[in-house]
Amino acid sequence: MKIQKNQLFLIAGPCVIETKNIVFETASVLKEIAENLRIPFIFKASYDKANRSSIKSYRGPGIEKGVEILSEVKETFNIPIISDVHSVIEIKIARDILDVIQIPAFLCRQTDLLIEAGKTGKPVNVKKGQFIAPWDVSNIIEKLKSTGNKQIMITERGTCFGYNNLVVDFRSFPIIRSMGVPVIFDATHSVQLPGGAGACSSGQKEFIPYLSRAAVACGIDGLFFEVHPQPDKALCDGPNMIPLKEFKNLIESLVEVHKTVNKFIDIRT
């Protein structure tokens, strides 16, 4: 995946692998949308969501079955793949399939995990934990760069705002970008209400378009979305996922905002 200066890129897909049919349907539609808009696209889906609220929550098919499905998606649609890793052992299993390695928010400070991810030489996307200040991201970047890996991305997904709520501080985008790394906005997790439904998280997906437009106007490099054919029936994060049928209009509007911003300022400064 080659990304040019000032080119918006997209990371999107379902929260977790539920069925092969859902994954393939979502990947097919998203690839077509991205190709029509001529924006780089990375497909995301987790084989395991290890940080669920309840022991009863659906986590995914596990790494062996999950990596197998992701491999099929990669080969069938010829698209790069990203997924969460939770341990050094998982990296060793999944690194040959994943094009981008993602560090989950709750593990963003785990030194051994970051070092092992950096050693793969592949791009690493770190989800900034809601307990991390923007300026503290420099420590995460330093750990990854210590391996010689400079392909580092940071994803903003909100900061704790009281109990069961997140809020996005838009100042974090220029602060983190000043560290010399691409900044991604996670539009769907930013409207999540962690643990808001008791045994699971809730969300306010109606605010996704508003926050997304604001983030693009601030000058981000990439967008992260969780998309599902039927979010109301999703086994994980349904309240903050975008319906697949609505995604085309949303991303088209965001690309236009990005073009408008680029007409007036160099958003990478």
Does residue 41 sit within a domain? yes
Read off the DSSP letter of residue 241. Answer: P
Q: What is the CATH number of the domain that holds 181?
A: 3.20.20.70
Distance CA 157, CA 192 (A): 9
State if pTM tops 0.85: yes
What is the pLDDT averaged over residues 209-223?
Answer: 95
Domain with 118, as residue range(s), is 9-264
CA nearest 187: which of 198, 177, 173?
A: 173
The predicted structure's pLDDT at residue 1: 55
The answer as to whether 43 is a domain residue is yes
Task: Say which DSSP state 106 is in.
Answer: G
User: Does residue 55 lie in a domain region?
Assistant: yes
pLDDT digits (tens, 9 = 90+) for 118-169: 999 999 999 999 999 999 999 999 999 999 999 999 999 998 888 888 889 9
- 1 is a domain residue: no
Domain assignment of residue 117, yes or no: yes
Task: Show the beta-strand stretches assigned E in the chain.
Answer: 9-13, 41-44, 81-84, 100-103, 124-127, 152-156, 159-160, 166-167, 183-186, 192-193, 202-203, 222-228, 242-243
Tell whether 3 is covered by a domain.
no
Q: Is residue 4 part of a domain?
A: no
**Domain assignment present for 2:** no
- Number of domains, the chain: 1
Annotate 206-234 with three-state secondary structure.
HHHHHHHHHHHHHCCCEEEEEEECCHHHC
**Quick one: average pLDDT of 200-205?**
70
pLDDT of residue 136: 96
Q: Which two tokens mark 249?
A: 């209009």
Contacts of 146 (CB under 8 A, 6+ apart): 115, 118
Q: What is the mean pLDDT of residues 104-114?
A: 97
